[in-house]
């Protein structure tokens, strides 16, 4: 084992080492002192690859005098034998999540996760993108060239959110658009899907961000308890209806919460009344906990069912008591969220895990995982019950058969 000097960054090469790129894009590491080379990073032990086209203004040519390929920056006339794409080389993906190196943590922001990424040509559909974590997710992706579909109920709020993004990055205005979606109405979901299928042929990132918290007991127009329908059933319906727009390049991210660990759904004989309880058995906090458990159960079952298609599905915890509009329905929670605000994540930090799961190259080929602070985390024992995952799927499917004409 070679003793390496201390460094603040795992990616930093030790003295005497340099990166080179082969013609097929594989990165190799050359030790100038020992005159040896290897395919893995001397610190991390991981292999890397460069992808994509050369940066704008650069060209590659063969130099007859030195008999090797060179790179020319046509604007500055700088010439080098180092491929400029090496700065954005990415680690080769692994099929073992335990081998994924943690690059970000609870302090990381969405924009830090996206550093160096070019998302032009990608399409993201984000529910609840007009405010809070959803807005920061949309804003961050849009700044890196991604086209954003704002799937929201409130048109005025969504258009104001798009205007805020355009003020920061005028070119992003043409990449952001609002499409009406009311998750408390299955009919609205159906209309939304029809409009989306008429306008796009592929979705790269489906981010199921919208949800409700601390609602008093209310029913939707479909006759179901609102927290359950908005946070789970409508997202379940939306995802299945958009299936033809997904392929192996698609990532589906379901926002859950650590609150899923306090859910009380039964392991056996799950029924509608457990998910959408009557008024006398309703408690808003437990309804939220159960809905967040449904998010994890759904993500894991969907990952299994679509595994052969190569579609990656992840559920995430964005952060504890992040200051958003989620607490707007009850004065006590508004007060509590305000008190803890200095000690919780910012919206940029809260959006980081969703962004990471949607875009991280090292997660290619992985699916059905739960993430917290941009890293894999074991979900609750109840959420890993294959039986409960199947039961929730069956109950949800049967409900849709009854309610959707």
Catalytic positions, written as ranges = 288
Closest residue by Cα to residue 137 from 398, 372, 356: 356
Closest residue by Cα to residue 146 from 172, 169, 166: 172
Question: What's the token pair of residue 299?
Answer: 């993500």
Q: At how many degrees (to 10) do helices 234-241 and 284-305 cross? A: 20
Distance in angstroms between the alpha carbons of the first and the last residue of the chain: 66
The secondary structure of residue 224, as a DSSP letter, is: S
- Specify whether the CB–CB gap between 205 and 125 falls below 8 A: yes
Distance CA 24, CA 17 (A): 21
The secondary structure of residue 307, as a DSSP letter, is: G
> How many C-alpha atoms does 402 have within 13 Å on its Cβ side?
11
Looking only at the bridges linking them, the beta strands covering 68-73 and 58-63 are antiparallel
Handedness of CA 265, 222, 296, 301 (dihedral sign): positive
The secondary structure of residue 94, as a DSSP letter, is: -
Question: What's the token pair of residue 377?
Answer: 């985390």
Distance CA 313, CA 297 (A): 11
Rg (CA), the chain: 23
Closest residue by Cα to residue 241 from 211, 196, 272, 209: 196
Q: Residue with structure tokens 């949607």? A: 358
Sorted by sequence, the CB contacts under 8 Å of residue 111 that are 6+ apart come out as 140, 143, 348
């Amino acid at each position: 084992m070679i003793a390496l000097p201390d460094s603040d960054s795992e990616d930093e090469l030790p003295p005497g080492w340099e990166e080179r790129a082969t013609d097929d894009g594989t990165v190799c590491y050359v030790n100038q002192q020992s005159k040896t080379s290897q395919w893995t990073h001397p610190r991390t032990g991981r292999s890397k690859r460069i992808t994509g086209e050369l940066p704008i203004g650069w060209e590659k040519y063969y130099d007859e005098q030195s008999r090797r390929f060179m790179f020319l920056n046509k604007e500055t006339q700088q010439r080098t034998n180092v491929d400029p794409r090496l700065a954005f080389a990415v680690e080769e993906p692994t099929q073992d999540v335990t081998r994924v190196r943690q690059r970000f943590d609870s302090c990381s922001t969405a924009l830090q996760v996206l550093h160096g990424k070019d998302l032009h040509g990608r399409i993201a559909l984000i529910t609840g993108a007009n405010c809070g974590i959803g807005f920061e997710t949309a804003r961050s992706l849009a700044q890196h060239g991604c086209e954003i579909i704002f799937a929201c109920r409130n048109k005025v709020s969504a258009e104001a959110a798009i205007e805020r993004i355009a003020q920061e990055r005028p070119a992003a205005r043409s990449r952001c658009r609002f499409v009406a979606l009311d998750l408390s109405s299955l009919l609205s979901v159906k209309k939304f899907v029809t409009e989306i299928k008429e306008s796009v042929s592929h979705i790269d990132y489906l981010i199921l961000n919208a949800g409700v918290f601390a609602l008093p007991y209310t029913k939707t127009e479909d006759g179901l308890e609102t927290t359950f329908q908005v946070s789970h059933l409508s997202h379940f319906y939306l995802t299945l209806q958009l299936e033809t727009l997904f392929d192996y390049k698609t990532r589906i991210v379901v926002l859950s919460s650590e609150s899923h660990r306090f859910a009380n759904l039964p392991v056996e004989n799950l029924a509608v009344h457990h998910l959408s309880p009557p008024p006398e058995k309703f408690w808003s906090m437990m309804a939220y906990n159960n809905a967040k458990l449904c998010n994890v159960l759904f993500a894991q079952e969907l990952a299994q069912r679509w595994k052969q298609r190569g579609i990656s599905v992840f559920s995430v915890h964005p952060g504890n008591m992040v200051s958003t509009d989620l607490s707007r329905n009850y004065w006590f929670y508004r007060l509590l969220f305000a008190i803890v605000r200095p000690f919780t994540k910012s919206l940029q930090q809260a959006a980081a895990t969703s962004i990471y799961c949607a875009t991280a190259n090292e997660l290619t080929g992985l699916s059905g995982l739960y993430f917290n602070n941009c890293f894999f985390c074991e979900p609750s024992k109840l959420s890993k019950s294959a039986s409960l995952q199947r039961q929730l799927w069956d109950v949800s499917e049967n409900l849709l058969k009854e309610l959707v004409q």
